[in-house]
Amino acid sequence: MKNIIYTIIVLAFFSGCNDMLEENPKAIASETFYNTAEEITAALNGVYEPIHGSKFTSYFTLLEACPDNVYGKGSLATISEYKGFSTANITNMGHVWTALYLSIRNANVVIKNTTGGNKISEDKKAQFIGEAKFLRAFDYFALVRLWAGVPLRTEETMDMIEVARSSMEDVYELIVSDLEYAEEYLPDTPRLLGTPSKWTAKTLLADVYLTLKRWEDARDKAKEVIDSGKYSLVQVSEPDDFEKIYGADILTTSEEIFYFKYTDQKGWELMNFFHINGDGYKPYGNNWYSFYSTTDNYFYKNWDDKDLRKQHNFYPWDIGLGDNTLLFKKYIDPNGTTNASNDWPVYRYPEVLLIYAEAASRANNGPTVEAMECLNKVHRRGYGYNSETESPVDFKISDYDADSFFELVLQERGYEMILECKRWLDLLRTDKAVEAIKKAEGIAMDTSMLLWAIPVVETNYNKAIDPIKDQNPGY
């Protein structure tokens, strides 16, 4: 069903993407192209394509190999030693940088030229600009968290080659500004699955505020999304029910806020990294089993065996590293024929509940009743209980103060969003990375790993960035 319905969507969504990128959007005359909704939509497709494509794959692989709950194999193996990133890792960081800046470049083109369209209403122009600004904010949010201050290229400066690194404060100022515009002008419902709505913009803005430790703002923005009534948790009663959320044939769910959408025709290359020939979970293409864990892993050992998420996410398989090795089945496509059609969940409703819980407690200097209830909703569902009613696994507010409740939320985020590119970013934003790796692995992590290297694809041509003086520490 997903292939039948979604093929129509993808044909509309990605029609012209490759041509757009090959022709280079800035070469299209704005007076003859950016005039109709169809033309602007075609240009918008070029904003999505770089971050949906193979070059962006390293964003996921590098982020998932870093934290305390997953080990990397192959070129990712050295990450688990925490002595610094390898040459191969740094090269792949450059691929991510290139993909993000190409997406930003294409967003800038849309923002700059859409205002001049003469066959489209002002409201529709604002909507399309809002979509482009949302995506630009998404791109810069990825950049600033991994590289700190980066060159700010906007519609005003996009033709400048030599652009110095901006401060983190300036990057975040643009992100917030773009998202404030997006939440005002994006539609109440996405124009297509896989595109943002105003609620998507509010969710990303809540996440940005959480990262900036603007607790009240993060709490209030997450509350807007919760109070909208647009989303709800998918209920489960057994481990395999999580396929209702992550399954290859799922078109959408009640907790989908923003996903990267894929089909059997335009598949998810990341699936190649999860499985091994013979496991039956992806019987086609490459099977690299690049991620694994073990039953001795600190994160795994301390995760309650009764939690259905734990039961769903792991399966034992000896890949030559011992019979205590575990692989992951969060994303499986046993009936696929060409490409994996699982979607990648960028934002799900459980994260909004947990953003609210963390921010509300921080703003209050201790958990509130509503903060605890938001956390308990996610926790109950994880054990197969109805998320909306009290359960035997509920946490009690009297047992927690501000610090212990924060640790509880961080733990729940780790369980709920494993393999969704959240854990390492959580450890970074909370300054817990060094501590977590020491606790889990007994390793004093090389602190150069807290930031990624500014890639040579930037410093080779951008003379405003000195490859030595302006590089991040340790490279």
Q: What is the pLDDT of residues 200-259, one digit of tens each?
A: 999 999 999 999 999 999 999 999 999 999 999 999 999 999 999 999 999 999 999 999
Determine how β-strand 314-316 pairs with β-strand 71-72.
unpaired
d(Cα 93, Cα 56) in Å, to the nearest integer?
9
**154 with 181: CB under 8 angstroms?**
no
pLDDT at 273: 86
Strand partners, 297: none
Q: Which H/E stretch holds residue 348?
A: strand 344-348
Which residues, at least 6 apart from 124, have a Cβ–Cβ distance to it below 8 Å? 37
Residues 258-305: tens digit of each pLDDT: 999 988 777 777 778 888 888 889 877 777 889 999 999 999 999 999
Q: Domains of the chain: which residue ranges?
A: 30-186+445-475
Which residues, at least 6 apart from 46, have a Cβ–Cβ distance to it below 8 Å? 17, 20, 21, 25, 106, 109
User: Of 144, 168, 75, 98, nearest to 455 (Cα)?
Assistant: 98
**263 with 6: CB under 8 angstroms?**
yes
Residue 389 CA to its chain's centroid (Å): 30
> Does residue 154 have a pLDDT over 50?
yes
d(Cα 410, Cα 158) in Å, to the nearest integer?
38
Tokens for 180? Answer: 């404030």
Strand partners, 327: 315
d(Cα 257, Cα 234) in Å, to the nearest integer?
13
CATH class of 30-186+445-475: mainly alpha
Q: Which H/E stretch holds residue 327?
A: strand 325-328
| Dihedral sign from CA coordinates of 74, 80, 86, 88 | positive
Integer CA distances (angstroms), 429 to 169, 179, 226, 260, in order: 15, 20, 23, 24
Q: Of how many residues is the chain composed?
A: 475
User: Of 464, 456, 459, nearest to 95 (Cα)?
Assistant: 456
Global pTM? Answer: 0.93
